[in-house]
Amino acid sequence: MRIITVLISTIILICPAHAGAADPAKSGLSEEQTHIVPIAAFTAAGDIEKLEAAITEALDAGVPVYDIREVLIQMYAYAGFPRSLNALTALADILETREASGIEDRLGEDATPLPEDTDMNALGNDVRNQITGRDMTTNSAKYAQIAPVIDVYLKEHLFGDIFSRDVLTHQERELATISALAAMSGVEAQLRGHYRVSLTTGLTPEQLYHFTDILRDRVDPQTAAKAQRILEEVLQARTEQGASNE
């Protein structure tokens, strides 16, 4: 009996379906966080029809309008202005239709304004250092070396203007980011990087496996398979690094 139990436990651990068995109550992902995943993914993919369904589902579940809007705003930094603007237009159209039908959706809280004299470069640098868990004040990446101004944009705008908006937590913003990157092609390196950032912000491996479950169930099985493969590579590298530091 002991041998059978061990074998069953081993199968559960190594079976690809292990991630699909995640229990939302145990994973720690809130219901609102689960709605972020398809909204960000369909925005990045430019699939407005499926995005409209995902937004409607989120609104029906009580996700605040401003929270959904914030995900769509952030998406322009990863998927570009056109897809972000199309997504925001879709949200506006949905809200108009729902209002005409007598549905009152909860707005939620808007972003807290920053002081007018805020140094966005310093703020963005601090935010980036915090969520990456390392000092990136002097960015040695090749893209920053060949075009230093892009690092200024990253600090002042992405991590200053956008990530400092308190409508979403840094964990929720990273969840939106990895959802978008998973839905896009040719950005595997960035997905790996943001998995690492997600872990630094406090998302757990279990939560990230649950993220791939949501991709599989609500977005696309192939997208989920790619996202899970890269996640497992990141977690394996993290385990090996931890072992080497002992």
Q: Is 166 helix (H, G, I), strand (E, B) or coil?
A: coil
pLDDT in tens, 175-198: 999 999 999 999 999 999 999 999
Q: Is 63 helix (H, G, I), strand (E, B) or coil?
A: coil
pLDDT in tens, 124-177: 999 999 999 999 999 999 999 999 999 999 999 999 999 999 999 999 999 999
pLDDT at 242: 76
Sequence ranges of the domains in the chain: 29-111+170-240, 112-164
Is residue 209 scored above 90 in pLDDT? yes
Phi, psi of 213, rounded to the nearest 5 degrees: -60, -45
What secondary structure letter does DSSP report for 21?
G
Tell me the C-alpha to C-alpha distance, in Å, between residue 172 and each of 8, 139, 199: 35, 25, 12
Fold category of 29-111+170-240 in CATH: AhpD-like (1.20.1290)
Lowest-confidence range among 11-20, 76-85, 142-151, 237-246? 11-20
Per-residue H/E/C for 131-168? HHCCCCCCCCCHHHHHCHHHHHHHHHHHHHHHCCCCCC
Q: Read off the pTM.
A: 0.87
What is the chain's mean pLDDT, rounded?
Answer: 90
Which bin fits 80, alpha (ψ -120 to 50), beta or left (φ > 0)? left
Which residues make Cβ contacts (< 8 Å) with residue 73, sequence separation at least 6? 84, 88, 162
Q: Determine contact, residues 43/77, Cβ cutoff 8 Å.
A: no
Q: Determine contact, residues 150/69, Cβ cutoff 8 Å.
A: no
CA nearest neighbour of 86 among 95, 97, 75, 77: 75
pLDDT-derived band at 11, boundaries 50, 70, 90: very low
pLDDT at 17: 39
Dihedral sign from CA coordinates of 194, 46, 210, 229:
negative
